[in-house]
Structure 1
Amino acid sequence: MSFLQVQKNIKKGILSPLYLFYGTETFLIEETIHKLINKVLTEDQYDFNLSTYEAKETPISVAIEEAQTIPFMGSHRVVIVKEAQFLTGKDQSKVEHDLKELEAYVLNPISETVFVIVAPYEKLDERKKIVKLLKSHSEVLDAAPFSDHEMEKWLDERVKKYGVQITKDGREQLVQLLGNNLVMIAGEIEKLALYVGDGGVIDDVIVEKLVSKTMEQDVFSLVDHVIHRRKQQALQVFYDLIKQKEEPIKLLALLARQFRILYQVKELTNRGYSQQNIAGALKLHPYVVKLATQQAKQFDEKKLLSFLDEIAETDYKIKTGKIDKQLGLELFIIRVLGV
């Protein structure tokens, strides 16, 4: 079930006695847990009816025993089991879990208890009986990175909470600046909403003006300026990064990553991959792939490979003391710009 649908059900009071939250977007998982707890319990019931366990440290049987305990001073109890590595193929914890007991509970959960199992991993071991049972007998949240469409819906829902709207250009600018970092996006939306006020509209100009740029975004801008031969802007971004005391070797590594993405996107595009498939193969946000596709059109594969070779050579010269690190990075940028 989608993140938005799970949250809608919780808001309406349509609750399940059993939940499975898995996936790498931990922000979505934590936010959903928070909404679930607040829907089921009042704040003064937390001490009596809310229990959280780490599966890496505590046997699942302890959590099940808690789930089977009658709620105290309330109608429901919430039991949360985090870091459930036993649902994956790589359980590195030293705790032994009685999965037979958990299987029995899944088939007959306690109606007065909301039992939540959290596995913040990309994949579960679908061959395991307990995984199959949980997926068929619980409400499942797959907290995978959003697609373009899902990100759009999530952003629209997010701004609606604050009584404001966001334009298409505003959404795209926000994602370009912050990527798929949902924690940062959520924080920036709150700030932007306060700025435009109730009933206001967040557009790309306001996003550009107010949203804090990450170093990765500055590097993205640097690459974009280099690609489009905007010499003055490219060098200005570079000098600004140096003034901020950013480490040249780290900047070089980020430049290498960005050019590598451009090469990979171009290569996969030439093989007939869709942008969505490329995003999945490279584990990138679809919007990042969209921008990289546009940038990659400016170069052929041979040129991109030559840039990567130059970065490797520059990195070698810096680390062996043959050239000053700031000078080495600056010379590389100038060569790529063709100044």
Structure 2
Amino acid sequence: MSVDKVISDWKKNQFKPVYWIEGDEEYYVDQLVKYAEDHILSESEASFNLTVFYGKDAAWPDVLNACKKYPMFSDRQVVIVKEAQQMKDVDKLESYIQAPLASTILLIAFKDKKLDSRTKFAKLVKDKTEYILTKRLYDNALPEWVNQMVSAMGYTISPKANSLIVDHIGNDLSRIKNEIDKILINLGTRKAITEEDVENYVGINKEFNVFELQSAIAGRNLLKSIRIIQYFEANPKAAPIQLVLPSLYSFFSKVYMVYGASGGEDSIAKQIGVGPYFVKNYVQASKTFRFNEVEQILLLLHQYNLKSLGIGAARVEDAALLKEMIAKIMM
């Protein structure tokens, strides 16, 4: 079951006795825990009937005792175990999971990892609880996720603004959500997020960012590429090399896929896993660089990633590495 479906059921006062949420996307774990903590019980009910444990400090007998209590001045109580992956003997909760109280809602948040599916306890959890597995989104799914999230809040976001945020932040849903919230606070009565909003409230320069660097390389524009790198050099937090190189590798990996794609731009966009707005850069790069050149670029990116880590090269400034690499790409 998805997190959205669970929250939808809770809004209808439909509850299960035990929820177990685990996986490698902590944003969804946090989302479910926060809703359970803030919304299942009213403020007056929560003062008597909400118990929160942290796995590192929680003893399993204390969790069991809390779950077996009966609610006061309410039909139900909520018990939450955060960071349950750090809890010793979490499998000792087995007896309660086998026979939970109907008046207790137990939420166990097992963050950033999963139970060993081969164990008896893991099989019990999947069989006897409302089991939710979160999975990290693929990078190419991030722009659509941003669109859906912004739309659900009653706003829109331009494709360029979307790209600026995704390229700058990467696959960190919690941070993306926080930055979007920061923008919305400053929008006033407007309902559309623009690239100017991203520049003003997130601090991403709309002319000097990884997205614009990709565009400059796609057009084989050495001068513009160097200017962007010089901006990165003067503003190290704007685009560290650890962000730039993976972004460029992802970009040219998709350019590599363009050669095997067919049809118009909309069809190519679907085949390589990007939005229609963004596909032009990939198609342009496939025309600017020959197939064998893209292969060499991917190899260069791998080599310079190693160099940035100090492997196979003396320590060199990040900007110097990027300039050297871009020069070789443009040759």
Is 1:115 the counterpart of 2:81 in the alignment? no
What CA distance in whole angstroms lies between the structure 2 residues aligned with 1:246 and 1:171?
19
Structure 1 unaligned spans of 5+: 86-92, 280-285
Task: Work out whether 1:228 is the aligned partner of 2:216.
Answer: no
Which of 228, 239, 257 does residue 230 from structure 2 map onto?
239
Paired with 2:159 and 2:225, the residues of 1 have a C-alpha distance of 27
Does 1:294 find its partner at 2:282?
yes
Structure 1 counterpart of 2:246, which letter? R
Q: Tell me, in whole angstroms, the C-alpha distance in 1 between the residues paired with 2:107 and 2:188.
A: 37
What are the ranges of 5 or more consecutive residues in structure 2 without an aligned counterpart? 262-267
Give the direction of change, closer, same or farther, for the CA distance of 1:334–1:149 in structure 2 (3 Å limit).
Answer: closer
Is contact 2:214–2:251 with CA below 8 Å preserved after alignment? no
Q: Which of 45-54 and 305-314 deviates more?
A: 305-314
Equivalent-residue separation in structure 1 for 2:224 and 2:50 (angstroms): 54
C-alpha deviation, 1:67, in angstroms: 0.5
**How high is the sequence identity, in percent, across the aligned residues?**
21
| TM-score w.r.t. length of structure 2 | 0.73
* TM-score normalized with structure 1 length: 0.71
**Aligned Cα root-mean-square deviation (Å):** 4.3
1:149 and 1:309 mapped to 2: Cα distance?
27
Contact 1:225–1:233 under 8 Å retained in 2: yes
Q: Secondary structure at the match of 1:19?
A: strand
Q: What amino acid maps onto 1:134 in structure 2?
A: V
The answer as to 2:246 corresponding to 1:257 is: yes
In structure 2, relative to structure 1, the CA distance for the partners of 1:172 and 1:139 (3 Å cut) is: farther
Q: Which residue of 2 aligns with 1:135?
A: 126
CA–CA separation in structure 2 for the residues paired with 1:106 and 1:275: 46
- Structural mapping, 1:1-339, within 5 Å: 1-85=1-85, 95-97=88-90, 99=91, 102-146=93-137, 152=144, 155-161=147-153, 163-166=154-157, 171=162, 174-198=165-189, 200-202=191-193, 207=198, 211-213=202-204, 218-219=209-210, 221-245=212-236, 251=241, 253-261=242-250, 294=282, 297=286, 298=289, 299-309=293-303, 312=306, 320=314, 326-327=319-320, 329-338=322-331
Q: Distance in 1 between matches of 2:180 and 2:250?
A: 28
The one-letter code sitting in structure 2 at the alignment partner of 1:333 is: I
Query: How many aligned positions are there?
Result: 314
Deviations 1:258-303 (Å, cap 9, x if unpaired)? 455457667889999x999999xxxxxx87xx87x93884443234
Deviation, structure 1 residue 146: 3.7
CA deviation profile, 1:79-109 (whole Å, cap 9, x unmatched): 1123333xxxxxxx68334x3x523322321
